[in-house]
Amino acid sequence: MKRLPIILAVTTALLAGVWFGARALRPYSFHGTIIQSPEPAPDFTLQSASGPVSPSDFRGKVTVLFFGYTFCPDVCPTTLADLAGAMRILGDEADEVQVVFVSVDPDRDTPERLAEYVGSFDPRFVGVTGNEDEVAAVAAVYGIFYEKHEGTPASGYLIDHTASAMVIDREGRLKLVLPFGIGPQDIAADLHELLK
Amino acid sequence: MRRIVVLVLLIGVVAAACGGSAGGIEVTDVWGRPSPSAATNAAFYMNITNGGDAPDQLVGASSPACSVTELHEMYMKDGGVMGMRPVQGGAVEIAPGATVEFKPGGLHVMCIGITEELKPGTTVPLTLTFEQAGDLQLEVEIRAN
Ligand SMILES: [Cu+2]
């Protein structure tokens, strides 16, 4: 009878051990959508204000590609602010991350304009564009859709575009898709996992 | 009596700092992001509650910080494609008892042609016009990213 408390204590300790062990072994669950059999990310070259930029320049880092345009007041600043927030959360690790903003509005977004724009969110961000055909080719290989449509006389044309960001791992494989609006904490956690 | 007057004045001042109310319509949490350099447009967000028992409609907005102001909504298409357009009929219905949220990815007051840099920690005036409640003067809080 006296042994009962001991047995209970031992059982509880064992169960707790199993539970914590299982938790530690469980694989990390990404907030974004992981690509199960990642392929090499298609390479391209577009222009930034400080010269040509290709994803392959950042091999060894984790690269985040986000397509948008500087006239966009909602999705693009929200995502760039979330990515900048994730960079702050990552601290020193953020030096291993390269965010590239690809403009789908080559008529209005010059490389200089893009540099100013993305630099306001994080000075390490890079903004790139090219001529209409070049941008269309890059978007196509990354499965990014964009389409101009008429706005009002005040807004001018607007552009519908894929709002998710594409993440390339250190080995240059297209590995993860970050949907719109998941927030800086979740983005930082996913990028941290890819940096391991 | 004097104390009540002071209290009413104080409440007025506090309300004017970020939100405001008129005719059963209450607007809270009015905010926008700092304008990135080279940006021409901005979006303002808020919560609009109709505490009255009749429907009302937000029919317009204006701000000295914007050349033109429109009421916009985002829409989502297949494959995570997003876009924006002016709200249908140019108005946003605020049903009695309902709170309509203007937030990233949803509704926003579209500020076309910003006339000044929107600096974090500052505010810019915004007037919302309701069909029933009339004009509501608000301040948009520019929140650091
Ligand atoms: Cu808009």
Q: Which domains does chain B have, with CATH numbers?
A: 2-142 (2.60.40.1890)
Q: Quick one: pLDDT at residue A18?
A: 63
Q: Quick one: pLDDT at residue B22?
A: 76
Q: Does residue B67 belong to the interface with chain A, where contact is any CB pair within 8 Å?
A: yes
Q: How far is B70 from chain A (nearest CA, A)?
A: 9
Backbone phi and psi for residue A184, each to the nearest 5 degrees, phi listed first: -60, -40
Q: Quick one: pLDDT at residue A107?
A: 95
> Which two structure tokens, joined as six digits, stand for B108?
């926003």
Domain residues of chain A, as ranges? 33-195
pLDDT in tens, A152-172: 999 999 999 999 999 999 999
Chain B residue numbers touching A145 (CB-CB < 8 A): 79, 81
> Is the confidence at residue A23, as pLDDT, over 80?
no
Chain B residue with Cα closest to A81: B145
Q: How many angstroms does the Cα of residue B85 sit away from the middle of ligand 1?
A: 6
Q: What is the rounded distance in angstroms from the CA atom of residue A118 to the CA atom of residue A101? A: 7
Q: Is A79 helix (H, G, I), strand (E, B) or coil?
A: helix
Say yes or no for a CB contact (<8 Å) between A152 and B40: no
Q: Quick one: pLDDT at residue B21?
A: 79
Q: Which percentage of chain A shows pLDDT scores above 70? A: 87
Q: Quick one: pLDDT at residue A2?
A: 59
Count the helix, strand and coil residues of chain A and give each as a percent rounded to the nearest 5. 40, 25, 35
Grade residue A55 by pLDDT with cuts at 50, 70 and 90.
very high
Q: Quick one: pLDDT at residue A24?
A: 63
Q: What is the rounded distance in angstroms from the CA atom of residue B125 to the CA atom of residue B131? A: 20
Q: How many angstroms does the Cα of residue A56 sit away from the middle of ligand 1?
A: 34
Mean pLDDT for chain A? 92
Strands A174-178 and A165-168: antiparallel
> Phi-psi bin for B121: left (phi > 0), alpha (psi -120 to 50), beta?
left
Grade residue A25 by pLDDT with cuts at 50, 70 and 90.
low
Q: Quick one: pLDDT at residue A103?
A: 97
- Fold for A33-195, please state it: Glutaredoxin (3.40.30)
Task: Report how far apart the first and last C-alpha atoms of chain B are (Å, whole number).
Answer: 44
Grade residue B1 by pLDDT with cuts at 50, 70 and 90.
very low
pLDDT in tens, B67-86: 999 999 999 998 899 999 99
Residue in the structure block whose two tokens are 């447009």: B41
Q: Does residue B140 belong to the interface with chain A, where contact is any CB pair within 8 Å?
A: no
> Is the confidence at residue B3, as pLDDT, over 60?
no
Between vectors from CA B66 to CA A118 and to CA B32, what angle results, nearest 5°? 55
Contact partners, residue B130, CB within 8 Å, separation at least 6 = B22, B23, B25, B56, B57, B58, B59, B94, B136
> Quick one: CA dihedral A130, A116, A93, B34, positive or negative?
negative
Q: Quick one: pLDDT at residue B4?
A: 47
Q: Which of A95-109, B2-16, B103-117 has the lowest mean pLDDT?
A: B2-16
Chain A residue numbers touching B88 (CB-CB < 8 A): none
Q: Which percentage of chain B shows pLDDT scores above 70? A: 88
User: In chain B, how many H helices and how many E strands?
Assistant: 1, 11
Grade residue B20 by pLDDT with cuts at 50, 70 and 90.
confident
pLDDT in tens, A36-48: 999 999 999 999 9
Q: Quick one: pLDDT at residue B19?
A: 78
Q: How many CB pairs under 8 A join A and B?
A: 101
| DSSP structural state of residue B78 | G
Burial grade of B127 (CB within 10 A; 0-12, 13-18, 19 or more) = middle
pLDDT in tens, A106-165: 999 999 999 999 999 999 999 999 999 999 999 999 999 999 999 999 999 999 999 999
Mean pLDDT throughout B17-30?
A: 84
Q: What is the rounded distance in angstroms from the CA atom of residue B31 to the CA atom of residue B46? A: 6
> Which two structure tokens, joined as six digits, stand for B115?
């006339």
Say yes or no for a CB contact (<8 Å) between B37 and A179: no
